[in-house]
Amino acid sequence: MRSEINLPPDTDRQRLLFGPNDSHFRLLRAELGVNLVARRGRLLVDGEENSVSRAINVIERMLEAIDKGQTFVTEELSTLMERHSEGAEESRAAGVVFTDRLRITARTPNQAAYIAHIRDKALVFGLGPAGSGKTYLAVACAVEALRYGEVKRVVLTRPAVEAGEHLGFLPGDLREKVDPYLKPIYDALDDMISRRQLLTYVESGVLEVAPLAYMRGRTLSRSFVILDEAQNTTPGQMKMLLTRLGEQSRCVVTGDPTQVDLAGSGSTSGLAHAVDILSGINGIGVMRLTGDDIVRHPLVKDIVQAYDRDSQPGRAR
Model confidence band, residue 242 (pLDDT cutoffs 50, 70, 90): very high
- Minimum mean pLDDT range among 156-170, 192-206, 214-228, 253-267: 156-170
Q: What is the mean pLDDT of residues 94-109?
A: 84
| Residue 231 CA from chain centroid, whole number | 20
Supply the pLDDT for residue 295.
74
Three-state DSSP class for residue 156: strand
Supply the pLDDT for residue 170.
47
Supply the pLDDT for residue 294.
85
Model confidence band, residue 239 (pLDDT cutoffs 50, 70, 90): very high
- Minimum mean pLDDT range among 6-10, 100-104, 126-130, 300-304: 300-304
Supply the pLDDT for residue 53.
82
Q: Please check the confidence at residue 48 and state whether its pLDDT lies above 60.
A: yes
**Sign of the dihedral defined by the CA atoms of residues 272, 275, 278, 279, in that order:** negative
Gap between the Cα atoms of 112 and 121, Å rounded: 14
pLDDT tens, position by position, 122-170: 999 999 998 899 999 999 999 988 887 789 999 998 886 543 444 454 4
Q: What is the mean pLDDT of residues 25-29?
A: 87
Query: How long is the chain?
Result: 317
> DSSP letters along 256-316, please?
-TT----SSTTPPPHHHHHHHHHTT-TTEEEEE--GGG--S-HHHHHHHHHHHHHTSTT--
Q: What is the mean pLDDT of residues 280-286?
A: 92
Q: Give alpha helix (H) positions in the chain.
A: 11-18, 23-32, 49-67, 74-83, 88-93, 109-120, 134-147, 174-178, 183-192, 195-204, 235-242, 270-278, 298-310
Cβ burial of 213 (10 Å; 0-12, 13-18, 19+) is middle
Q: Are 188 and 295 in contact (CB under 8 A)?
A: no
* Residue whose C-alpha is closest to residue 238's, from 258, 223, 257, 222: 257
- Minimum mean pLDDT range among 176-180, 260-264, 284-288: 176-180
- Minimum mean pLDDT range among 88-92, 107-111, 261-265: 88-92
Q: Are 176 and 167 in contact (CB under 8 A)?
A: no
Q: How far lies 278's CA from each of 18, 42, 124, in Å?
A: 49, 52, 10
The larger pLDDT score, comparing residue 95 to residue 220, is at 220
The larger pLDDT score, comparing residue 65 to residue 273, is at 273
Q: Please check the confidence at residue 171 and state whether its pLDDT lies above 60.
A: no
The whole-chain average pLDDT of the chain stands at 82
State the CB neighbour count (10 A cutoff) for residue 178.
22
* Residue whose C-alpha is closest to residue 115's, from 285, 276, 255, 298: 285
Q: What is the mean pLDDT of residues 228-245?
A: 93
- DSSP for residue 245: B
Model confidence band, residue 111 (pLDDT cutoffs 50, 70, 90): very high
Domains for the chain: give ranges and CATH numbers: 2-83 (3.30.1370.10), 105-310 (3.40.50.300)
Supply the pLDDT for residue 66.
81
Gap between the Cα atoms of 303 and 203, Å rounded: 40
State the CB neighbour count (10 A cutoff) for residue 162.
10
Gap between the Cα atoms of 119 and 113, Å rounded: 10
